[in-house]
Structure 1
Amino acid sequence: MSIEKKPSKLVQHMLLGPIRAFINLRSDIQVVRNDTKGLKPPYVILSNHVNNWDPLILNSYVDEPICYIAGEPLFRHPFLKHVLNYVGAIRKTKFTNDTSTIRNVLKAKKHGRVIGVFPEGNRNWDGYNEPLIYSTSKLVKLLDVPVVFAKIKGGYLSHPRWGDGHRKGKIELTFEQISDQGDFINASIEDIHNRLTEAMHHDEMAWQRDHKNQYISKHPAHYLERLLFVCPHCQTPGYMYSNKDEFRCLNCNYLVTYTPEGHFESINQPTYHLTPYEWKNWQLQFLRENLFRDDLVNVWGDCLKDPVKLYVSYDQQPFKLVGEGTLTWNNQQFDFINSKDQITFSIHQADGINIQFHHKLDFLYHNAFYRLVFYQPRSSAYKWLQVTKQIKKQEGVSHGT
């Protein structure tokens, strides 16, 4: 298989049959609407991105094999590269312009493929859509094919990006065709972007308030500190700690429980925030207002100090280990330090900063591709990403999640 040659129905059934059975065993999947039935390719499927299983979940309910646009770092793993090339995945470097991606997408259209895009660019952390990448609207206009929006509801609650393991519960899928060929020919890119943003919108916790589904796990709060690293009670960063269903501040002993419904309940203090989404929004505001306070330099210095493994890749080759050491923050730069080296990265010179999975911070720096792996399970790559965003905002640059 490849972009040009899609798998036969027999091969597709042999691959997706066991996957669909496994997915249905893990979750209660309900397809509420499916406009792909009878729709002939080429067409585009856009979807919110909440779960590592999203590509397989979607393709289990679409008759045609989906040719997904996939993050370029996945192709640097030798085995994954063969798998992705085999299924016709299209390589894309996140948050950068990549003309080869456009050429391959047009090739997929020419050969009658279904093209799958996650226009947020990455999995969201809290069940609420990340802003759509603006270039998605340009791609939709360029392709001029039918557009189907797939919406996954319950996927975040069944396996939040910060979490440890799957939680069995209900997942609803809808496949809604929002446009046909020719519908966007005379539309501006901004109008298309607004239309896609409206169609894409999903607030998982608002949906959950109406449905009250339960998502069962032995350790539902593990590892919330990957996302939430500032205590709302004592307002100190770096002391949050999860255990089973409890989430506690080791500095002031503030304690909440995380329920199977996906919200917080208070134990010993007020519930400042009912959901991770609300807590995260407060935390981002706290970061904006307090990251550069002179009286908190030592506090942030202690918080921004994590053991990591540093990898580097040149010319799209597999990653090679540079070394294991400690990542620290020093004003406008990150320092990687071990017994042999100190490598300094100027944050303003780092491009395309984003997170793979929950613990791999990737970025381009001086014609090389670097990866910082936060190998301790309670470390937060998300924390480091948000710090870089605050610094980058001084030069008007935003990055991915």
Structure 2
Amino acid sequence: MFVRLVMWFFVRYFRITARIPRQVAQINEPYLLLANHFGRYDPFILSYFIGKPPHFISSDAILRDWPIGSFFKGLGAIPKKKGFRDTRVVRDMRTVVQAGGALALFPEGTRTWAGDTLYIDPAVAKLVRLLGVPVITARMQGAYAFDPRWASPLRRARVVIDYELTLTKEEVRQLTEEEAYKKITQRLSHNDIEWLRQHRVLIGSGRRAEHIGKIIFQCPQCKSFAGFKSHKNRFVCRHCQLPITIDEYGFFTAPVKLPFDNPYKWFYWQADNFITEMLKQLTLTRDTPLFEIERAVITRTKGAGRMQKMGTGSLAFYPDHLCITLPGHRITFKHRDIDYLGPQYMERLEMFEGDYAWRFTPQYPDESGVKWELAINTAWALAGQHTKLAPYWRERILQRIQRVREN
């Protein structure tokens, strides 16, 4: 009851509304909710508008954090290790459904960086058939202005959530997996940048640019990958000092003409360039790192336990390995032995290697975790470790490798 009261004020203050059919709002049987994923509070927002709250499939990175992890566990969240197929999670989901409960997950597997719906694994259609329950979809619109992945404070903007009963129980039984997958992906496909441009949503914040360096790290003027420093509504290239302002509608302005005015086009232009650069650098033999985090709090846990502090040190990316430097010792990891590397909850960089999970919290908040994810995925692709590739990067990286080899 307390959570619902808090959410009642929350959705009104942040101007979040829902278009939801009565059959969805009042559903009282087991179901599977699928939604596109923008922000930290998506599970609470999506659950608020439905009478029968679902159990969310959640990254185990969140559940390792106290107190938010304890809160999620109390709401019945089912933990999943990012980047791994886990049969235990499927068993837990079936148990919830058999007990009359509802489920929810984000089929993209991660929050969007640039406002677009990411690749959805076709395995979601197999899961739908396995569970045999109705499928509700929720398409969030405007959420990139309210809670973009790189920002810290929430912003007052305008969010509209469209709920739909996309597959009835009968359709789940009758449709092929390909037909079910097509209906799901069509419903969730969305580009929030274009939606925000069309609706001219005002962003009620004086800190619109803060921490955008977590996703934007290549300058369009000097082409450097040095990253940006951000403050309030401006961010500045660390190399050539180009200043860029984010206006009240979330679009970019600068004293020079930019090739793009939004994060979506910039992000994927940058991704292609960085993958190409990594394809060159990863084949070299060198004693200096390609890039590094010079100062970070480093923690570690075994299994699903709480993180334990190892100390303050650095993390460096070399052509064939990563190196952690802590006071008194160094630890190296070959790229081939790393199971996962990328940004997780609060955009902190996490690494899985064997039974251990490592977390790196940089001293400077504009450090980009997605840069590390792109680099390690490119290294795995070159080494033929395609099963490790993040689904949303796989095609882009493999196509880039093919183009480079053809040229």
TM-score normalised by L of structure 2: 0.88
- Post-superposition CA distance 1:223-255 (Å, at most 9, x none): 111111111111111142222222222322323
| Alpha-carbon distance in 1 for matches of 2:304, 2:35 | 27
8 Å Cα contact 2:342/2:370 also seen in 1: no
Which of 118, 122, 125 is equivalent to 1:134?
122
Partner of 1:111: 99
Say how many residue pairs are matched. 386
State which drifts further: 14-23 or 340-349: 14-23
- The one-letter amino acid paired with 1:51 is G
Contact persistence 2:139–2:161 (CA under 8 A): yes
1:292 shift after superposition: 4.2
Matched AA of 1:87: L
Q: Please state whether the residue corresponding to 1:105 is helix, strand or coil.
A: helix
1:33 aligns with 2:24: no
Q: State the shift of 1:302 in Å.
A: 6.6
Aligned residue number for residue 67 of structure 1: 55
CA distance in 2, matches of 1:288, 1:146: 40
In structure 1, what is the equivalent of residue 257 of structure 2?
270
* Match runs of 1:190-209 below 5 Å: 190-209=178-197
Map of 1:176-195 to 2, 5 A cutoff? 176-195=164-183
Q: Distance in 2 between the 1:349 and 1:236 partners?
A: 30
1:47 aligns to what? 35
Does 2:370 align with 1:379? no
**Residues 275 and 374 of structure 2 are in contact (CA less than 8 Å); yes or no, is this contact kept in structure 1?**
no
Is it true that 1:98 corresponds to 2:86 in the alignment? yes
Q: Per-residue deviation at 1:301?
A: 4.1
The amino acid that maps onto 2:303 is D
Check whether the contact 2:342–2:373 (CA below 8 A) recurs between aligned residues.
yes
2:381 is the counterpart of 1:399: no
Q: Secondary structure of the equivalent of 1:36?
A: helix
Partners of 1:292 and 1:95 lie apart in 2 by 22
Are the aligned partners of 1:374 and 1:381 in contact in 2 as well (CA < 8 Å)? no
Partners of 1:163 and 1:400 in 2: how far apart? Answer: 24
Report the Cα offset of residue 352 of structure 1: 3.4
Partner SS, residue 29 of structure 2: coil
Question: Is residue 359–residue 374 contact of structure 1 (8 Å, CA) maintained in 2?
Answer: no
2:126 touches 2:177 (CA, 8 Å); kept in 1?
A: yes
Structure 2: state its 5+ residue gaps: 393-407
Q: Counterpart in 2 of 1:211?
A: 199
1:312-391 correspondence to structure 2 within 5 Å: 312-391=300-379
CA separation of 1:375 and 1:188: change in aligned 2, threshold 3 A:
farther
Aligned-residue Cα RMSD (Å) equals 2.3
Listed as ranges, the matches of 1:252-331 within 5 Å are 252-267=240-255, 269-293=256-280, 301=289, 303-331=291-319
1-structure distance, mates of 2:271, 2:4: 40
Q: Which runs of 5+ in 1 are unaligned?
A: 1-12
What's the secondary structure of 1:392's corresponding residue? helix
- Cα distance in 2 between the residues matched to 1:92 and 1:294: 33
Deviations 1:93-114 (A, max 9, x none): 2221212211111111112212
For residues 115-167 of structure 1, what are the alpha-carbon distances to aligned partners after superposition, in whole Å with 9 as ceiling and x for unaligned? 11111112111111121233322211111111010111111111211113121
Most deviating of 372-381 and 97-106: 372-381
**Distance in structure 1 (CA, Å) of the matches to 2:250 and 2:31:** 35
Shift of 1:368: 1.8
The alpha-carbon deviation at position 366 of structure 1 amounts to 2.5
Select between 168-177 and 382-391 the one with higher mean Cα deviation. 382-391
Q: 1:185 to 1:221 in 2, by over 3 A?
A: same
User: 2: distance between equivalents of 1:189 and 1:308?
Assistant: 45
AA paired with 1:321? K
Q: Report the Cα offset of residue 341 of structure 1.
A: 1.2
The amino acid across from 1:85 in the alignment is K
What SS class does the counterpart of residue 183 from structure 1 fall into? Answer: helix
The aligned amino acid for 2:3 is L
Distance in 1, matches of 2:69 and 2:231, equals 37
SS of aligned partner of 2:219:
coil
Contact preservation (8 Å) 1:50, 1:160: yes
* Conserved 8 A contact 1:164-1:222: yes
Q: With structure 1 as the length reference, what TM-score do the two structures score?
A: 0.89
Checking the alignment, whether the CA contact within 8 Å between 2:299 and 2:360 is kept in structure 1 is yes
Greater mean alpha carbon deviation, residues 230-239 or residues 355-364: 355-364
